[in-house]
Amino acid sequence: MSSSIPTKRTSGSPPTSPSKRSCSGAAAVLTNPELVAVITDYSANCLELCPELYEVLDMDDIGSGTFEEQEQALMRLNGRYVANGFVDANLNPDDDVDAEELVERAKASVTDFKALHRALQVRQKLAEFADLIKDEHERPAAGIEQYDFCKAGPIIFQPTFLVDPTSGTWGREDLIKIFQNDELAIQDGRGVPNGLGWHYWNVLSSNDHCAYCAAAEGIDPDNEALRDDSGGYGDGEPKVSDAWKSFMEEKGLDSRAFLSWRSYAYERLVSEKDEHVEFCTRVVRPLKAYLESNLADVKLVTIDYRDDCDQIASTSFVGGLTTDGYLVGIYFCFIDVL
């Protein structure tokens, strides 16, 4: 199976099947292919599809190593999230959580195993994309060489953890509820892995075209005006130079991808075009197409972003909703290692 976010394995067997009433027509029922599918124990199917279904998220192997605030922002779900989409009601990092008791609550929280199974099918496919990013395309995905992916793996959240599971949409309020943090800004272009954003927001799934990849054709390798516009975050709205405004308009680029670190985006087009085209072709285009074909209200968002000038720490998510209301996607956690 594809690897995902490392987890702590916790003892406990999968939920047992509900008892079934006997009836005179049992033999006919058990030999009818259509009815067999109806009475299948999907709790067992879920565990077969995702062996780590009842494992607790373990992020103890990471940490900014610089200051406590960053680590708390990065590790908010650490030891409090179970892979079947359950989140503990208490995300206070100072409180201890009994892992076995957490798993038992997670098991009891699932009322529709078919819906969970459908979400897990998407999760497993996204695990393949996450593996490609982490194992083969980390540099172009990060965009900036000092960014290091601490985690990149699939994740799901049960519908009950959304503000309105029936709305068919999700956003800032839902993430605030999940992560129990009302300070989340959910800002475009900030904290999102830059390289991923450069491509993702410039890919049109309808025609498999990436405006960022196309912008490399005929680019001036010595354009100092584009190279000097770093677009650092700072306070308030980032200022974009006239040169970059003209460049984005000429190339048909989505400005959300270039709210920060524009000089890096230019340098990568000049010096690492082939690596970025391969990353986009193998990962971003098929990932975005898969998400939009299998999920609703697909978004790429920053969950949390911390910058104390010495180090940046951020978590991001790209995904959407299943027909049953599960929020499914890829969860990124990364830090500026300089």
DSSP structural state of residue 165: T
Check residue 330 and report its DSSP letter.
E
Quick check: 107 and 54 in contact, CB under 8 A?
yes
According to the model, what pLDDT value does residue 304 have? Answer: 82
Does the residue 14 lie in any domain?
no
Which are the contacts of 65, defined by CB distance < 8 A and separation ≥ 6? none
Phi-psi region of 161 (alpha: psi -120 to 50; beta: other; left: phi over 0): alpha
Q: Which domain holds residue 229?
A: 23-337
Residue 112 within a domain: yes
Average pLDDT, stretch 219-243? Answer: 78
Are 149 and 333 in contact, with CB atoms under 8 Å apart?
A: yes
More confident call, 285 vs 1: 285
Q: Does residue 13 lie within any of the structural domains?
A: no
One-letter amino acid identity for 306? Answer: R
Of the chain, the end-to-end C-alpha distance in Å amounts to 34
Banded pLDDT at 287 (limits 50, 70, 90): very high
Which structure tokens are listed for 257? 């991808």
**Nearest to residue 157, comparing CAs of 103, 102, 110?**
110
Q: Output the six-digit token pair for 284.
A: 């971003």
Q: CA 314 to CA 263: how far, in whole Å?
A: 20
Task: Report the mean per-residue pLDDT for the chain.
Answer: 83
Q: Give the range among 33-47, 85-99, 203-217, 262-276 with minimum mean pLDDT.
A: 33-47
How is residue 332 annotated by DSSP? E
- Whether 15 maps to a domain, the answer reads no
Which residue, among 141, 247, 121, has the nearest Cα to 193 in the 3D structure? 141
The structure tokens 């390798």 sit at 221
Q: Pick from 185, 15, 184, 2: which is nearest to 86 by CA?
A: 15
Reply yes or no on whether the pLDDT at 188 is more than 60. Answer: no
Q: Is residue 244 part of a domain?
A: yes
Residue 244 tokens, joined: 């970059």
76 pLDDT band (50/70/90 cuts)? Answer: confident
> Is the pLDDT reported for residue 19 higher than 90?
no
Give the side-chain half-sphere CA count within 13 A for 29. 10
Span 289-307, pLDDT tens digits: 999 999 999 999 888 877 7
**Is 72 a member of any domain?**
yes
Cβ-contact 12, 100 below 8 angstroms: yes
> 3-class SS at 154?
strand
Q: Which of 11, 26, 29 is nearest to 101 (CA)?
A: 11
In this predicted model, which residue has the larger pLDDT, 30 or 293? 293
Candidate ranges 10-24, 63-77, 121-135; pick with highest mean pLDDT: 121-135
Q: Going by DSSP bridges, is the β-strand pair 296-307/209-210 parallel, antiparallel, or unpaired?
A: unpaired
301 and 169 Cβ atoms separated by less than 8 Å: no
Output the pLDDT for position 41.
64
Average pLDDT over residues 233-249: 78
> Could you tell me the pLDDT band of residue 313, with boundaries at 50, 70 and 90?
confident
For residue 330, is it within any domain?
yes
Indicate whether 9 pLDDT > 60.
no
Phi-psi region of 147 (alpha: psi -120 to 50; beta: other; left: phi over 0): beta
Return the percentage of the chain with pLDDT > 90, whole number: 54
Q: What type of residue sits at position 73?
A: A
- What confidence score (pLDDT) does residue 159 get? 98
| Mean local confidence (pLDDT), 279-286 | 97
pLDDT band at 29 (very low <50, low <70, confident <90, very high): very low
**Single pTM value for the model:** 0.84
Examine residue 11 and state whether it is found in any structural domain, yes or no.
Answer: no
In this predicted structure, what is the pLDDT of residue 73?
Answer: 62
Distance, CA of 123 to CA of 51 (rounded, Å): 13
Report pLDDT for 181.
Answer: 82
> Tokens 């124990």 sit at which residue?
41
Place 187 in a pLDDT band, splitting at 50, 70 and 90.
low
The count of domains in the chain is: 1
> Is the pLDDT confidence value at 36 over 50?
no
Average pLDDT, integer, range 20-45: 53
- pLDDT grade for 68, boundaries at 50, 70 and 90: low
Q: Do residues 142 and 193 make contact, with C-beta atoms less than 8 angstroms apart?
A: yes
Task: Return the percentage of the chain with pLDDT > 70, whole number.
Answer: 77
